[in-house]
Structure formats: structure tokens, C-alpha cells
Amino acid sequence: MKSLLSLVALACVAAASPVADQVPLNSQHALAHPDFPNFDLNAVRLVQFEDQSAPVQMTEWQKLEAKSRGFKFFDVTDTPHLGSSAQLRIQSVFPEPNATEKVLPILKTLSTKGPEENLRKFSSFRTRHYRSETGAQSQAWLVSKIAEITEEWGSDSLQEKISISEFPHSWGQNSIIVRINGTSSTDDGVVVIGAHQDSTNMLFFLPAPGADDDGSGSVTILESYRGLLAADFHPERAVEFHWYSAEEGGLLGSQAVAQHYEANNVNVIAMSQFDMTAWVKRGTREEVGIIGDFVDEGLTAFNKALVETYLDIPWVETKCGYACSDHASWMKAGYPSSFTIESSFENSNQNIHSTNDRIDVSDEFSFDHMLEFSKLAVAFAVELGGSK
């Protein structure tokens, strides 16, 4: 049986792939399901695993098999130039938190009410898989909700500085970018706060409510955005909120966005990813997981300081692995990025990628816990974006 190892050899990769002999490469699969009318599981993709000098060819079906076995990867088919100028961009000097008089009043206005209402709707779609009909529908709903919040909570002067756009993708579920333009005429920097909007089920045809992964992160940063608007936040430096498509397919959406920013020399000062923010495992201490691998060291230290300054719970450093979430796309492009998760990785929600990734599956799913992450996103925006 042809294995990934043979393809790695053909690609002249010196070291054997960690997926070798575990993902069969010669089977053919047809997909017939009304949610996925145009998904070809036999389509060949270029996939990059850790410690490989070159990507290997895999079908969409083989990608699903690799993901189900716990392997993490970039699908680089559409983003071959990402990272071409990475060495020119990394900058890791960040200040100590110093804007408490501006941040603390906003934190007091944050609530669990909006996130709970929004997540009940967002996780009600049968699946938010990026190639599904309902995935496109969920993205359309999210855009409309962002626009509704902007109109309801933004002052006229602030709304003039806000743009809501869809970053188009060929698979039908677009990424979403909301930009609050900065007031400074000399600072071209951008602060990015992100989450991924898609969901998946390892048993592919079954529902994927994705309440925690990453519905929780998506509505967490949405509440942060609402809080900033309510506070009439006019940043000196541009602040953007991103909701990426196709994270579950190999970080496809965030790679496309990061490649576009890199190609256009956008000065991204820092990127913070929020992926899974709701789970508190029974019998464990409530805490914020700070990912320590494949992230920018200086920005990660800054994130720890934000937790210590503004949150009511402590942080714990943990690891997530290669290509673990969308922050990895920005690191690949050479931009400083960080990643916070609901707990240490070993204590995180084990129901993800299944029909049980729901709000009501356990009292371990906590909107109060999510609120701590909304505080963190607000602090990140104000401290690095500045405020008049």
C-alpha cells in the first residue's frame, strides 16, 4: 500500500513523515450528502506537516484521516508564498500593561447575555464546515450579527471609522474582517484579534455544532467588539477583528488572509487567537491556558501580563503543537502572534469535533469562563491599539 512515506520520499524530504504508514493514500471516496454538494474528497491537496522541508500530496479524504488521528498541518495548496519575507517582520518588544484607567471601565460593561444568545444560534447550524451549505449560512448570519451590533452600539463618529468586509474564498464560506481605523496619521500598525468560525465532525457526515470549537472563541471576541463600541473606542492604531474560515481544513482561511497582508506589507504589530474559551474541567482550577509553543515569545509574555492585570483567574502555560490554530498562519508570515485557550491543553474539552460539542452537554461549559477571555481581548485591543 502506498503510504505518505513514499510521497515524502518523492518530494525529497530527508526525514520520514510522522503520518507515514498511518494514512492510506490509494483509496477513492465519493461524497453524496446534501450539506456538501460540491466537495470532492478525491481532490489532491498540498499538505505541510511538522519537520518536513516540503509539502506532500494528499487527498481531502486523507486529510480527514490524518486529522482524525491527531496530526496537525497546514494545507498550503492555495498559499504557496506565505512566509516568503517572514524574516523581515518579527518584532517582539511589547510594553508592560499601562492603560488600566481606560481598560477597567470597559471590562465592567461586558456580559454573558449576548455571548449565550449568539452561541445558541451559532451552534444551531447542523455544521459550520467550510465546504457545507450550512457553513456558508452560518457565516452569513455572523456577518449580519456583526453589522447589527455595529449599528446598535457604535456612535455615528465611530461607525465612520469601521469597515466590515468578507475575505472571499473559493470554498464558499468567507473569512470576516472588521476594522476600526486608527486616529493617528503616522502609525500604520494593525492589531489583530482572531477566532475561527468553522466546525467539523471527525465522523464527517454527522452534525458539528462546534459550540466550544470555536463557537466559544467567535462569540467571545464578538462580545469584546461590542464592549469596545459601547465605550466609543477610538484607537490610535487600527484594530481588526477576524473570524477565519476553514481552520479545520488546515488553517486555510487564516493563511489566505496572512498571505494577503504579507504581500501588501501590512504592518501587523500583534495577533491574538481565541480558540476554545468555554470549558472548565470538573475538579480543576479555572485558568487561562497560554500556549507556549510556535508563538512569539515577547507577545506571549505580554499576554501573561494582561491576564495578571485584568483577569480574575490565573494563567497556566501549556502547549498545543504544530499548526494548532490560526495564530500559526501569522507566525508563518513572520508576524508576532499568541494563542490563549480555555485551560491547559490536557484539561481542555474532549467533546470537540463531535456531536457532543454543545452548550448543554455538561455544566463544565461555562459562559462566565468565556467572559474572562472577552476581558483579555478588550485589554489586548486597548493596550496595543491605544485610545484617545
Residues 237-286: pLDDT tens digits?
999 999 999 999 999 999 999 999 999 999 999 999 999 999 999 999 99
Q: Of 71, 105, 127, which residue sits at a domain end?
A: 71
- Shared domain for 221 and 358, answered yes or no, is yes
- Shared domain for 25 and 173, answered yes or no, is no
Whether residue 150 lies inside any domain: the answer is yes
Least confident span in 48-52, 99-103, 230-234, 315-319: 48-52
Catalytic, 196? Answer yes
Report the C-alpha gap between 120 and 124 in whole angstroms.
6
Whether residue 77 lies inside any domain: the answer is no
Which residue segment(s) compose the domain that 14 sits in?
4-71
In whole numbers, what is the pLDDT of the chain averaged over residues?
91
Catalytic, 353? Answer yes
Q: Of 40, 71, 102, which residue sits at a domain end?
A: 71
Contacts of 184 (CB under 8 A, 6+ apart): 236, 237, 386
- Among 240, 248, 296, 364, the active-site one is 248
- Shared domain for 64 and 98, answered yes or no, is no
- Shared domain for 265 and 237, answered yes or no, is yes
- Among 169, 327, 353, 369, the active-site one is 353
Q: What is the pLDDT of residue 37?
A: 81
- pLDDT band at residue 26, thresholds of 50, 70 and 90? very low
- Among 196, 242, 327, 369, the active-site one is 196
Has residue 305 got a pLDDT over 90?
yes
Over residues 64-93, the mean pLDDT reads 86
- Shared domain for 12 and 142, answered yes or no, is no
CATH number for the domain spanning 169: value is 3.40.630.10
Over residues 349-374, the mean pLDDT reads 98
How many structural domains compose the chain?
2
Whether residue 80 lies inside any domain: the answer is no
Over residues 67-77, the mean pLDDT reads 96
Of 209, 183, 53, 3, the closest CA to residue 124 belongs to 209
- Shared domain for 129 and 37, answered yes or no, is no
Q: Of 38, 71, 104, which residue sits at a domain end?
A: 71
Catalytic, 357? Answer no
Catalytic, 212? Answer no
pTM strictly above 0.85: yes
Whether residue 369 lies inside any domain: the answer is yes
- Shared domain for 107 and 27, answered yes or no, is no
Whether residue 76 lies inside any domain: the answer is no
Report the C-alpha gap between 290 and 302 in whole angstroms.
11
- Shared domain for 36 and 169, answered yes or no, is no
Catalytic, 260? Answer no
- Among 35, 75, 214, 275, the active-site one is 275
- Shared domain for 314 and 348, answered yes or no, is yes
- Shared domain for 130 and 54, answered yes or no, is no
- Among 35, 65, 198, 213, the active-site one is 213
Report the C-alpha gap between 97 and 225 in whole angstroms.
20
Report the C-alpha gap between 27 and 341 in whole angstroms.
36
Whether residue 207 lies inside any domain: the answer is yes
- pLDDT band at residue 38, thresholds of 50, 70 and 90? confident
Catalytic, 242? Answer no
